[in-house]
Amino acid sequence: MLVDQDKCRGWRMCVSGCPYKKVYFNHRTGKAEKCTFCYPRVEVGLPTVCAETCVGRLRYIGLMLYDADAVLEAASTEDPQDLYASQMRVLLDPNDPEVIAGARAAGISDDWIEGAQRSPIYSLIKKYKVALPLHPEYRTMPMVWYIPPLSPVVDAVARDGHDAEDVGNLFGAIDALRIPKEYLAGLFTAGDTDVIDDVLHKLAAMRSYMRDINLGRDPQAHIPAAVGMGEEEMYEMYRLLALAKYDERYVIPTAYQNEGHKLEETATECPLDFEGGPGMYMAGSGPFGETSGTPAPVAVETFNALKQRQTSEHTAGSRVNLLNWDGLGSPPGLFPSGAVDHGEGGNAEEGGAVGKDV
């Protein structure tokens, strides 16, 4: 969901109505605002700013394939505690030949299918089953998932004189975690503590299993087996959670190469292309200067700056980028007084002649 800043009237109903309490009111602008998931970055294959700058490397971004026709039925599940399992069934296996064939038939490119196959989100949700949706009882089928925290328990176990990393001690201490399982179940599983218990046991088993490996001891195969995992699978989960590289944590496919310009530039079918409007593909010279009327795409984020530069005698700032300067505006002091007619930008040859005279 995005908040349209042009249509927002500041009534704050979306603030009180947001089930996740993620919409806030900006008293400076009088508008409601929220996280946009950095969609201009994601659309061109870049991770969100919060994910890229997270010092703990705790955020992952990936692609999920799902059955759109099954969403309504899944969201209509009567028992709220069954919603987690219902949403899991909606998510498709990107390695399934039938899913691949269906995706291609729906026009999904091979790059996106490959991205779904390498998605760290799919691994955390479906393969390892340690990521859970936030408040599934709201029936919004959220696609931002969370790994419940294995809250500090090692010190408490050690204070009693026990080995705090032993898998048996860790399993036994899960019921006495600082963050109660009931509270986590209220966040992620509509109160089903069994799912939370399974996730926390997997995290505790991974911690104990990797301790032996890091200390140079023989790994204990019974530890991952106790939580229904194999040794190789547990090591892969550990590597994804602790050692994953940049391109493993962020698998963000972009649009088709021949259509990528539509993501950040105005397309030819822009509805604003009408006589007298701000269309950037109008025939002939447009209202915002020479380049606004030619079929040369203009980046959306620079459109307002281009409009101001081409309709103003001087630029608003004190600096100008000479690499793309078209002579239709210059900051004061760029040229000596009288050397350039600011009202009519000269061509490259005229600009060179002025430079020689100076």
pLDDT in tens, 296-323: 454 544 455 555 555 555 554 555 555 5
Classify residue 52: in a domain, yes or no.
Answer: no
Examine the domain organization and report whether 171 and 226 are in the same domain: yes
Q: Which two tokens stand for residue 298?
A: 């203009």
Gap between the Cα atoms of 304 and 12, Å rounded: 28
pTM of the model: 0.68
| Three-class DSSP category at 145 | strand
Q: Are 209 and 167 in contact (CB under 8 A)?
A: yes
95 and 169 in a single domain? The answer is no
Residue 271 confidence (pLDDT) above 70:
no
Q: Is residue 20 part of a domain?
A: no
Domain assignment present for residue 105? The answer is: yes
5-43, pLDDT tens digit by residue? Answer: 888 999 999 999 888 888 999 998 899 999 888 888 888
Give me the chain's average pLDDT, please. 77
Buried b / exposed e along 297-334 (16+ C-beta atoms within 10 A): ebeeeebeebbebbeeeebeeeeeeeeeeebbbbeeeb
Q: Tell me the torsion sign for CA atoms 309, 312, 317, 319.
A: positive
Note whether 193 and 303 are same-domain residues: no
CA distance 319 to 332: 9
pLDDT at 190 over 80: yes
pLDDT at 103: 93
Q: Higher model confidence: residue 215 or residue 294?
A: 215
Distance CA 154, CA 274 (A): 67
Q: What is the span of the domain harbouring residue 276?
A: 265-311
Based on the fold, state whether residues 231 and 157 are members of the same structural domain.
Answer: yes
Tell me the pLDDT band of 178, cut-offs 50, 70 and 90.
confident
Q: Is residue 291 part of a domain?
A: yes
Distance (Å, rounded) from C-alpha 174 to C-alpha 203? 11
CATH code: domain of residue 88:
3.30.70.20
d(CA 122, CA 325): 47
On whether residue 5 sits in a domain, the answer given is no
Closest CA to 244 of 17, 5, 18, 60: 60
Q: 65 pLDDT exceeds 90?
A: yes
pLDDT at 101: 95
Shared domain check, 215 and 192: yes
In this prediction, residue 79 carries a pLDDT of 95
- 175 vs 195, which has greater pLDDT? 195
